[in-house]
Amino acid sequence: MKALVVGGNGFIGSHLVDRLVADDWEVSILHKYEQRRFGAVPEKVQQFRGDLTQESLVEEALDGVDIVFHLLWTTTAIHEVANRDPIADVQANMIPSMALMEACCKAQVKRLVFTSSGGTIYGPAKQLPIPESHESNPLNAYGVSKLAVEKYLQMFRHLHGLDYAILRPSVPYGPRQNPLGRQGAPAVFTYRVANGLPITIWGDGSVTRDYFYITDLVDALLLAAQRPLTENRIFNIGGGQSISLIDLIKAIEKGVDRTAILDFKEARDFDAPNIVLDTQQAEQQLGWSPKVSLDSGIAKMWAWMQEHIPPPKE
């Protein structure tokens, strides 16, 4: 099998590429960055440097490809960026995604697997855990554009026969997630607690998410690429456990053996207060379930961080 990983040098993409190579797939990457932020790309992986607006490059990258994993999103790191300029978000993410769908149809790709967003698609939860059938009312531009791509995938299948699967992850974390950024609470908080740096908490810390380890997401991506699908092609992927920010910080304090310094600020109006996803559909149709506990995942991430991320300069 031959796969193209769009965004293959990012946090999720790099882990997926390593697994595909280990499973003897023929793998290509399309990414605007030539190298990963952390570590090296496996030698046998073919790389295409650019973006989805470069029609000839995308056509070349899709030659002979069976499965496309679409992981690339320019505003993943900071959702506020999409809110400040939603037109730019559409131009940078939604329109290129549509171009990829058209190119996949021309190349007769067998399936396109898209990573959407379980944390933003639904908006305020009217029931917990949240099933895929829950109404979609995203509160930020990031979630709106992710949902739009989902709808276009459905349209492309209806009009052009493009096979697809959509994963709606909650909050994946693990090695290679940038601990020096602003997004990705488990990684950022672990680094800051371990190094005696303050953590900003928007609200009172009661906001909940279902965090889950990166290898569990990679498992789901591979299953979504290969399993026979019914009309249900959208799958929630999460840890299955509602964890507040305060509880997350307590787990990190335990993992790094240090007390956190907390700086509470007024809650932001675009953050959904409670997100825990119902993953029964993924369990039943894909045979997927999370395997790595929060304590184990934090320990693995902290071990990686100690080896690869230097402490801040005094």
What positions carry a catalytic annotation? Answer: 142
Query: 164 — phi, psi (to 5°)?
Result: -150, 165
| Biggest CA-to-CA distance, the chain | 59
What is the number of other CB atoms lying within 10 angstroms of the CB of residue 110? Answer: 16
The residue type found at 43 is: E
Which one, of 24, 103, 25, 112, lies nearest residue 60 by Cα?
103
* Residue given tokens 């996949």 in the structure block: 104
Angle in degrees, 0-180, between the axes of helices 185-194 and 294-308, rounded to the nearest 10: 60
How far is the C-alpha of 60 from the C-alpha of 55, rounded, in Å? 9
Please state whether the peptide bond connecting residue 129 to the residue before it is cis, i.e. omega within 30 degrees of 0: yes
Which one, of 118, 126, 121, 146, lies nearest residue 136 by Cα?
121
List of residues 6+ apart from 82 with CB closer than 8 A: 75, 89, 140, 141, 142, 145
Query: What kind and span of H or E run contains 89?
Result: helix 86-89
How far is the C-alpha of 174 from the C-alpha of 167, rounded, in Å? 18
How far is the C-alpha of 37 from the C-alpha of 307, rounded, in Å? 14
How far is the C-alpha of 197 from the C-alpha of 195, rounded, in Å? 6
Which one, of 238, 253, 236, lies nearest residue 292 by Cα?
238
